[in-house]
Amino acid sequence: MSFAFRTPRRAVMTAAGAAAAVVLLAGCSAGGTGSEENAGEPVSGGNLVYATGDAEPTCLDPHVGGNYPQALAASQYLEPLVSKNVDGEFIPWLASEWQESEDGLSWTFTLREGVQFTDGTPLNAEAVKANIEHVQDPETASSTGYLALQKIESAEVVDDLTLKLNLKAPDSALLESFSMPWVALQSPKALERSQEENCAAPVGTGPFMVEDWVKQDSITMVRNENYNSPPADAAHGGPAYLESITWKFIPESATRYAALQAGEVHVIDNAQPDTIAAAENNDVIKHLDAPRPGASNRLELNTSKAPFNDPLVREAFVRAVNVNDGVSSLFFGTAERSYSPLSSVEPLGYSDESLFGHDPAEANRLLDEAGWTERDAEGYRVKDGERLSLEFPVSTNQSIPAEQSLFEQLQATAKEAGFEIKLNLLDLSSWYGALAENDYNLVSAPYTKVGPDVLRILFHSDSTVPAPSGYFANLSQVKLDELDEILTKGSETSDPAERAALYEKAQQIVLEGYYILPLYDQQNHFLYRSEVSGLRALPTVSTPTFYDAWLNS
Amino acid sequence: MPGSTPEQPVPGRPTVTDGDRGPARILGDSVRLPTTVRWLLAKVLGAVFVLWAVATLIFFGIRLIPGDPAEAILGGPGSQASPEALEQVRRDYGLDQPLLAQYFTQLGRLLQGDLGESYSLRMPVAELLGNQLPGTLLLSALALLVAWLLALGLACWSTLNGKAAAVVASGLEIAAAAVPHFWLASILILLFSNTLGWLPPVSTNSADGLVLPVLALALPLAGFLGQVMRESMLNAMTSPFALSARARGEGETGVLFRHALRHAALPGIALSGWAFGSLLSGAVVVESIFARPGLGRTLLNAVTLRDIPLVTGVALVSALAYVLVMAASDVAERAADPRLRAA
**B213-258 tens-digit pLDDT:** 999 999 999 998 888 888 888 787 777 777 777 778 777 777 777 7
Asked if A58's CB is within 8 angstroms of B81's CB, the reply is no
The pLDDT, as a whole number, for residue B81 is 64
**B124-168 tens-digit pLDDT:** 899 989 988 888 989 999 999 999 899 888 888 888 787 888 888
Q: Tell me whether B222 touches chain A (CB under 8 Å).
A: no
* pLDDT, average across residues A336-363: 93
Asked if B200's CB is within 8 angstroms of A262's CB, the reply is yes
> Counting Cβ atoms within 10 Å, is residue B181 exposed (0-12), middle (13-18) or buried (19+)?
buried
pLDDT of residue A35 exceeding 50, the answer is no
What gap in Å lies between CA A350 and CA A345, rounded to an integer?
Answer: 11
What is residue A332's three-state secondary structure?
coil
Asked if A431's CB is within 8 angstroms of B67's CB, the reply is yes
Q: Where are the beta strands (DSSP E) in A292-355?
A: 297-301
The pLDDT, as a whole number, for residue A151 is 92
Is the CB of residue B281 less than 8 Å from the CB of residue B334?
no
For residue A438, the distance in angstroms to the closest alpha carbon of chain B comes to 13
Q: Where are the beta strands (DSSP E) in A350-503?
A: 374-375, 381-383, 386-387, 389-395, 420-426, 442-443
Q: Which residues pair with A528 in a beta bridge?
A: A267, A286
Residue B278's pLDDT band, with cuts at 50, 70 and 90, is confident
Q: Can you say whether residue A451 is alpha, beta or left, with left for phi > 0 and alpha for psi between -120 and 50 degrees? A: left
* pLDDT, average across residues A509-531: 94
Closest of B283, B323, B294, B306 to residue B54, by C-alpha: B323
Backbone angles phi, psi at B292, to 5 degrees: -105, 130
Q: Where are the beta strands (DSSP E) in A150-250?
A: 152-159, 162-167, 208-214, 218-223, 244-249
Asked if B197's CB is within 8 angstroms of A469's CB, the reply is no
Is the CB of residue A492 less than 8 Å from the CB of residue A172?
yes
The pLDDT, as a whole number, for residue B341 is 63
* pLDDT, average across residues A149-165: 95
Q: What does the mean pLDDT of chain A come to?
A: 89
Q: Which of A215, A249, A264 sits opposite B121 (nearest CB)?
A: A215
Residue A373's pLDDT band, with cuts at 50, 70 and 90, is very high
Residues 61-80, chain B: which have Cβ within 8 Å of A? 65-80
* Cis peptide bond prior to A138, omega within 30° of 0: no
Asked if A446's CB is within 8 angstroms of B76's CB, the reply is no
Q: Can you say whether residue A385 is alpha, beta or left, with left for phi > 0 and alpha for psi between -120 and 50 degrees? A: left
**Pure H helices in A201-272:** 253-261
* pLDDT, average across residues A165-171: 95
Residues 64-103, chain A: which have Cβ within 8 Å of B? 65-69
Asked if B86's CB is within 8 angstroms of A467's CB, the reply is yes
A495-509, B7-21, B135-149, B185-199, range with the lowest pLDDT: B7-21
Is the CB of residue B264 less than 8 Å from the CB of residue B232?
yes
Asked if B88's CB is within 8 angstroms of A215's CB, the reply is no
What gap in Å lies between CA A487 and CA A458, rounded to an integer?
Answer: 10
Question: How many A/B residue pairs have CB atoms within 8 Å?
Answer: 184
Residue A74's pLDDT band, with cuts at 50, 70 and 90, is very high
Calculated CA dihedral for residues B248, B254, B256, B262, nearest 10 degrees: -90
**A99-144 tens-digit pLDDT:** 999 999 999 999 999 999 999 999 999 999 999 999 998 888 887 8
Is the CB of residue A502 less than 8 Å from the CB of residue A245?
no
The pLDDT, as a whole number, for residue B264 is 75
What is residue A64's three-state secondary structure?
coil
In percent, how much of chain A has pLDDT > 90?
73
Question: Which residues of chain B does A55 touch, with a Cβ-Cβ cutoff of 8 Å?
Answer: 76, 301
Asked if B66's CB is within 8 angstroms of A437's CB, the reply is yes
Q: Tell me whether B291 touches chain A (CB under 8 Å).
A: yes
Question: Which residues of chain B does A468 touch, with a Cβ-Cβ cutoff of 8 Å?
Answer: 83, 86-87
More confident call, A45 vs A66: A45
For residue A159, the distance in angstroms to the closest alpha carbon of chain B comes to 32
Helix (H) or strand (E) holding A533: strand A532-533
What gap in Å lies between CA A513 and CA A148, rounded to an integer?
Answer: 27
Is the CB of residue A75 less than 8 Å from the CB of residue A152?
no
**Pure H helices in A30-182:** 68-74, 125-136, 144-148, 174-178
**A396-449 tens-digit pLDDT:** 877 888 899 999 999 999 999 999 999 999 877 778 778 888 899 999 988 888
SS (H, E, C) A99-130: EECCCCCEEEEEECCCCECCCCCECCHHHHHH
Q: Which residues pair with A391 in a beta bridge?
A: A422
* pLDDT, average across residues B38-58: 86
Q: Tell me whether B200 touches chain A (CB under 8 Å).
A: yes
pLDDT of residue B299 exceeding 80, the answer is yes
Residue B32's pLDDT band, with cuts at 50, 70 and 90, is low
Contacts of A123 (CB under 8 A, 6+ apart): A94, A111, A112, A115, A116, A117, A185, A205, A229
HSE-CB for A430 with a 13 A CA cutoff: 16
Q: Testing the interface with A: which of B63, B65, B82 to mutate, by most A Cβ within 10 A?
A: B82
pLDDT of residue A265 exceeding 70, the answer is yes
More confident call, A378 vs B203: A378
Question: Which residues of chain A does B202 touch, with a Cβ-Cβ cutoff of 8 Å?
Answer: 51, 248, 250, 255, 259, 264-265
Asked if A59's CB is within 8 angstroms of B193's CB, the reply is no
Question: Which residues of chain B does A65 touch, with a Cβ-Cβ cutoff of 8 Å?
Answer: 74-76, 79, 81
For residue B122, the distance in angstroms to the closest alpha carbon of chain A comes to 6
pLDDT of residue B8 exceeding 70, the answer is no
What gap in Å lies between CA A49 and CA A266, rounded to an integer?
Answer: 5
Residue B66's pLDDT band, with cuts at 50, 70 and 90, is low
* pLDDT, average across residues A363-391: 94
The pLDDT, as a whole number, for residue A553 is 75
For residue B212, the distance in angstroms to the closest alpha carbon of chain A comes to 12
**Pure H helices in B31-113:** 35-64, 69-74, 83-92, 99-111
More confident call, A487 vs B30: A487
Question: Which residues of chain A does B131 touch, with a Cβ-Cβ cutoff of 8 Å?
Answer: 214-215
Asked if A429's CB is within 8 angstroms of B72's CB, the reply is yes
Q: Can you say whether residue A40 is alpha, beta or left, with left for phi > 0 and alpha for psi between -120 and 50 degrees? A: left
Identify the closest residue of chain A to B64 by CA–CA distance: A430
* pLDDT, average across residues A202-209: 97
Identify the closest residue of chain B to A467 by CA–CA distance: B83
Is the CB of residue B50 less than 8 Å from the CB of residue B277?
no
Q: What is the ipTM of this complex?
A: 0.74
pLDDT of residue A302 exceeding 70, the answer is yes
pLDDT of residue A13 exceeding 50, the answer is no
Q: What b-and-e string marks burial along A202-221, b requiring 16 or more CB atoms within 10 Å of the CB?
A: bbbbbbbbbeebebbbbbbb
Is the CB of residue B306 less than 8 Å from the CB of residue B62?
yes
Q: What does the mean pLDDT of chain B come to?
A: 79
Asked if A264's CB is within 8 angstroms of B200's CB, the reply is yes
HSE-CB for A199 with a 13 A CA cutoff: 21
Q: Which of A58, A139, A254 sits opposite B120 (nearest CB)?
A: A58
pLDDT of residue A17 exceeding 70, the answer is no
Residues 5-64, chain B: which have Cβ within 8 Å of A? none
pLDDT of residue B120 exceeding 70, the answer is yes
What gap in Å lies between CA B275 and CA B270, rounded to an integer?
Answer: 9
Asked if B298's CB is within 8 angstroms of A216's CB, the reply is yes
Contacts of A43 (CB under 8 A, 6+ apart): A241, A550, A551, A552, A553
For residue B305, the distance in angstroms to the closest alpha carbon of chain A comes to 7
Question: Which residues of chain A does B69 touch, with a Cβ-Cβ cutoff of 8 Å?
Answer: 429
Is the CB of residue A549 less than 8 Å from the CB of residue A79?
no
